[in-house]
Structure 1
Amino acid sequence: MKTITSFSRHFSSLKQLQLPLRSIPESHFSTCLRCSALTEELCSKLLDQCPDLNTLKKLHFRIITNPTLSLNPSLAIKLMRAYAARGHPGSARHVFDQVPQRNVVFYNVMIRGYTNNHLYGDAMLVYKMMSCDGIRCDNYTYPCVLKACSGSINLAVGVQTHAEVVKVGLVSNLFVGNGLVAMYGKCGCLIDAHRALDEIPRRDVVSWNSMVAGYAQNGFFDDALSVCREMELSNLKADAGTMASLLPAVTDTSPNNVSFVEEMFNRLTIKSLVSWNVMIAVYTNNSMPEKAVDLFLKMEAQGLEPDAITLASVLPACGDLSALSLGRRIHEFVKNKRLCPNLSLENALIDMYAKCGCLSDAREVFDQLKFRDIVSWTSMISAHGISGLGHDAVALFSKMRDSGLSPDSIAFVSVLSACSHSGLLDEGRNYFKSMVEEYGIEPRLEHFACMVDLLGRAGRVDEAYGFIKKMPVEPNERVWGALLSACRVHSNTDIGVKAADNLFQLVPEQSGYYVLLSNIYAKAGRWREVTNIRSLMKRKGIKKTPGISNVELGNKVHTFLAGDQFHSESKRIYQELDVLMGKMRELGYTPETDSTLHDVEDEDKEGHLAVHSEKLAVVFAILNTETRTAIRVTKNLRICGDCHVAIKLISKITQRGITVRDTNRFHHFANGDCSCGDYW
């Protein structure tokens, strides 16, 4: 008795100090359980503290062997809650079954216990049992049942529950209404979800977040953002839960929507990890890799540790920027934290290394995978394809099929593209035929574009044009663009003009196609047409997309424009470039001035070529890295012919391995040669 009194005094003092219950020393639990006289108050306090499972079982035994305590319904309810909270709903059910007279609270606790432990079917069975036992549901029952319907995507029971809610007059209850919105959203019934939202007279942020989540979980990112705007118009501010609701559907969207998410993120007073993850993913998926990487580094600087979702979101951005150093650092973090196996994260690592041109590193991650899905194989096939290793890509495709995986439409895009980049004409034709006849995959525009590119690169321009005319679907920009590129390479002016006419109708503001047609005319010596194209661009206000090249140094990505004078090391870069140009001329270098005819008038053509962004990026890297260190540059446009020749010579002069990734492929330069074999 003395011990019990001592414990009670200790508990009271803690309560007065407003300390959390878990601060009670565990030694008191053992002491109390050894006592012969447990009171209802003491048992209640111990159960409220949610003791560990072993202590809970001992306490349970002491309660059921005490004639007074065993009949106490309050203790039975708390035992059920404690068991469910410890992940043992079966034990909670045992307590539930032993109670002779159960009221609505017992059923609610049991349904909640099953639901919180993801045993949704069991939760719904208890719900059905209530009506059989003549127990009326209340405003605590329905939210739990609706949560079980959401978790199991059981629309039928959800609709029945909704009907019951209407019948008993609880449809305007906030918590029940929120449950209905979440249930319908999870089941993909978004009109019904919005109707349920409209029926809630006084909505809170959870109501709106449930609607946001419904759209996001069904892939409607723009609609989810529209709901966020509605919420703000109702004078409710987005919170971390709103950002979390958006995560399942973060995708490519409009610049206005990106700005809206930015504003929402910046207004958050408390930014959870999920909030950072959403913002990083938005930047990555909307072709803003610099912002994604900057935000990731800012998050790190604030001491917030990333999780697997963060890393899987930022790794593609590292790949887009060829930020290999950061990518490797993230990979080390993954190893140290033992975040793998995690297929999504491992696939992101493969993709990052592949985009940085590090095939051996990508292959190492791939070979260590315990499980490979179609994404893993497709990433490796694509990585070899864009590096010009078509035969290796084809071999990987065969291994994937041998492993028992059936290629999907994206896998066929990768292997067809690989055949195109390496001139594997017969293989590409066979794969296209196999896709349709063996796998029953209906060709999409991406497959048709690959076939046009395959034929065009191989010099079969007339055949490529005939292929387009026989397509069962209307050709899009990519299809005609592939044909126009082939016409430039193989100097086919007549078909080039036809391709360009179609492109000017489809994408009249896209400057690149005007430039390509101008180059075709220039190579044919048709200067009047070149002038006409330039005049047309001027009248329409169309400006050539500036060439941008990125190179990583340390953890910072340096960006260069053609003729860049803004970089802090511009003076040194131009001095070194002059030296290299002199050495290149000694090796027979002659500038390919044809590539400047579309956008240079009176200025010195050779001087203009000399300051293209990829040349500046390469020279900057040479000046700031150790001798023989490999250099990696990423460009936003196709590398021009002059830069291709120049960088081959620079690799020979400096004895550097230089990798340039343009919009089409990788060019690995070494000792005066390029991996593309000049087939690009």
Structure 2
Amino acid sequence: MTGKALPSPFQLIHLLQACSASKALIQGKQVHQQMVLSGLHQNPFLRTKLIQMYADCDDLYSAQLLIHKLLQPNVFALTAFLGFYSRHHLTEECIRTYGQLRLMGIVPDGYVFPKVLRACAQSSCLVMGTLVHKDAVIFGSQFNTQVCNSIIDMYSKCGEARSARQVFDEMSERDILSWNSIISGYVANWFFEQAVELLGYMKLEGCEPDIVTWNTIMDAYCRMGLCNEASKIFKQIKNPNVISWTIIISGYANIGKHAIALEIFRDMVNSWTVFPDVDSLSSILVSCRYSRALERGKEIHGYGIKMKAWDAFYKSAGAALLTMYASCCRLQDAEKVFHIMDKSDVVTWNAMIFGFIELGRGHLALDCFREMQRRGIKNDHTTISTMLSISDLRSGKEIHAYFMKSSFHSVIPVYNAVIHMYSMRGCIAYAYSVFSTMETRDMISWNTIIRGFGMHGLGRTSLKLLKQMECSGLRPNSVTLSSALSACSHSGLVDQGIEFFYRMTKDFGLTPVSAHYSCVVDMLARAGRLEDACNFINEMRLKPDKHIWGALLAACQDHHNVTVGELAAEHLIRLEPYDAGHYVTLSNIYARAGRWDDAARMRKLMEDHGSLKPSGNSVIAA
């Protein structure tokens, strides 16, 4: 009996490798059938190759059936399972399989460690990640570049930037992924200046940055609020990808420069080289919301429906779209988006609750929250934080008690929201009590309690907390120092406030922005040091804006200083000629000084600019 010759073992191996590479499951099963016909399926080596093929083609069930038939599972077969679990983000299964591998006495290799380390990074499991790192050293993989890169990524994502840097520094050879891993690790852990500094070392070592490097450095600059620096890098990139565009758009949006963000988005669409994805659409909708650009938001809404899958667009950008319509007072449009979105997703409900709050409909937000609970939708920390923002003291305490009993009572953002709620409701002692019980605090925790004490006129306590924050290893950011300066201003701690302002650049490496300058001017002006405030304004690196001159003018009215008041009003009127308030304030200053002619002149000037504010009238009985 003659027939077609069966493939040799060598041919079968190559066929299985080809099926694995191309995810050709059907053809892989045909090869398996040929192996059964030839009796080669009993060969442990070929069976291992079959297991790898099934795992690579995502047929886990067939792979599991085969591995149970192996007398002694080997590292290659188990690596196939680790690869499957890692690809599908099944972190617990991946880590558990690694544990089984070690119990069997199987020696892990350079292919095993990256997969398990990725699972540790995804689940932020530092303890297991550290054990895997030790195993990599014990079994001689500490010099494997791919393994080292995975260790750096694991430590970075688990918040251990110093350990990541130590591994990086000890590497004998580094590739582009090594540099990108440590730079992105620094950015993820808020060490933005160090990330930018590493770019210089990278170039000195002869490693040329790629698009991932430039995007990460742009992200670092944007997070520091230095979007102009990020923009310089963006312009140097030959072929920016959609991530590059999204970073620069969201960067400008995050610092409130929404007009620039909208302009950049327009440039991206007009370039015809990169098409917006759901992330870039979500980012630009934020700018539409804050700039009340309803028509542009509608255009993006239409673009998203046409360019993307219907469900994918609403899943990713639906929340931003809903809040954009709410901010533009389009409740019906917001509700239409809400009804289209997935009602089983807590993000949908959070967006609608936030939308009602944005419209000033707190009672509707509460109704929405109750309906969410009635449907059995599990709250997340965003739900609780959002509801706390509109709660009075009584309901705020109830929500506080509720989340303490819930499964997410240790979530830092919720603690931060509770601290803010108590601070805003006049219960700073309660706020500090919550702050004190936190096992872990982030930057927002410190900023919130520092600002809270400052709001209550307890500036010295704010400054003590700032020192405690530094001692804890957290470096104050721009918001921290705004809160500290504001606390000094409200507590009359002028000299301390000035000292902290000049420490911004010297000790913290921060570049003062308009809000910081405004705090210092307000602080000096409140203390009656108006000439010092003028000198400070003259020495500013930034051009004074209306907030700075406004703080000075308001103080001049309180301290009856005509000379400085005239100077401040002159600049304000130049900036906002149609704002009646500036004319009225200066007119009142003149009147208090007995300069009635000048007061009348200011009233006349206001009328000429069409900014008439009627004078107060009184009826005196004769």
Query: Cα distance 1:323–1:596, how it changes in 2: closer, same or farther (>3 A)?
Result: farther
In the TM superposition, residue 192 of structure 1 has moved relative to its aligned partner by 1.1
1:21 aligned partner: none
Distance in 2 of aligned mates of 1:503 and 1:107: 75
Distance in 2 of aligned mates of 1:279 and 1:261: 7
Query: Cα distance 1:287–1:446, how it changes in 2: closer, same or farther (>3 A)?
Result: farther
8 A Cα contact 2:562 2:589, kept in partner: no
8 A Cα contact 2:528 2:555, kept in partner: no
- 1:382 paired with 2:343, answer no
Query: Cα distance 1:233–1:366, how it changes in 2: closer, same or farther (>3 A)?
Result: farther
Amino acid at match of 2:563: T
Structure 1 gap ranges (5+): 3-33, 386-391, 417-430, 453-466, 484-496, 548-560, 564-589, 613-641, 646-680
- 1:512 paired with 2:547, answer yes
Mean Cα deviation higher: 176-185 or 590-599: 590-599
2:324 aligned partner: 352
In the TM superposition, residue 357 of structure 1 has moved relative to its aligned partner by 3.9
2:297 aligned partner: 327
Flag the structure with higher strand content.
1
Query: Cα distance 1:131–1:377, how it changes in 2: closer, same or farther (>3 A)?
Result: closer
- 1:140 paired with 2:111, answer yes
Structure 2 gap ranges (5+): 374-378, 402-414, 428-454, 463-482, 492-521, 538-543, 591-597, 615-622
Query: Cα distance 1:410–1:102, how it changes in 2: closer, same or farther (>3 A)?
Result: closer
8 A Cα contact 2:384 2:399, kept in partner: no
2:451 aligned partner: none
Distance in 2 of aligned mates of 1:112 and 1:350: 39
* 1:484-633 superposed matches below 5 A: 501=526, 512=547, 514-515=549-550, 518=553, 529-535=561-567, 544=572, 593-594=583-584
8 A Cα contact 1:165 1:171, kept in partner: yes
In the TM superposition, residue 206 of structure 1 has moved relative to its aligned partner by 0.9
In the TM superposition, residue 180 of structure 1 has moved relative to its aligned partner by 0.9
**Larger Rg computed on CA atoms:** 1
Distance in 1 of aligned mates of 2:316 and 2:613: 36
Distance in 2 of aligned mates of 1:480 and 1:247: 34
Distance in 2 of aligned mates of 1:124 and 1:211: 24
8 A Cα contact 1:146 1:158, kept in partner: yes
8 A Cα contact 2:352 2:368, kept in partner: no
8 A Cα contact 1:534 1:598, kept in partner: no
Distance in 2 of aligned mates of 1:344 and 1:35: 54
8 A Cα contact 2:561 2:589, kept in partner: no
In the TM superposition, residue 265 of structure 1 has moved relative to its aligned partner by 3.2
2:244 aligned partner: 275
- 1:288 paired with 2:320, answer no
1:499-530 residue CA offsets vs partner (Å, 9 max, x unmatched): 961698999767526525635866x9x9x524
In the TM superposition, residue 178 of structure 1 has moved relative to its aligned partner by 0.7
Query: Cα distance 1:354–1:45, how it changes in 2: closer, same or farther (>3 A)?
Result: same
2:279 aligned partner: 309
Distance in 2 of aligned mates of 1:57 and 1:445: 60
1:634 aligned partner: none
State the secondary structure of the residue aligned to 2:6: coil
8 A Cα contact 1:172 1:199, kept in partner: no
* 1:420-431 superposed matches below 5 A: 431=392
2:400 aligned partner: 439
1:238 aligned partner: 209
In the TM superposition, residue 170 of structure 1 has moved relative to its aligned partner by 3.0
Distance in 2 of aligned mates of 1:199 and 1:498: 49
Query: Cα distance 1:411–1:220, how it changes in 2: closer, same or farther (>3 A)?
Result: farther
1:187 aligned partner: 158
Mean Cα deviation higher: 273-282 or 341-350: 341-350
Question: What count of residue pairs does the alignment treat as equivalent?
Answer: 489
Mean Cα deviation higher: 137-146 or 63-72: 63-72
Query: Cα distance 1:606–1:81, how it changes in 2: closer, same or farther (>3 A)?
Result: farther
Flag the structure with higher helix content.
2
2:504 aligned partner: none
1:372-426 residue CA offsets vs partner (Å, 9 max, x unmatched): 44742452233213xxxxxx3344335425643596455444x37xxxxxxxxxx
Distance in 1 of aligned mates of 2:319 and 2:527: 38
TM-score of the aligned structures, taking structure 2 as reference length: 0.64
- 1:123 paired with 2:94, answer yes
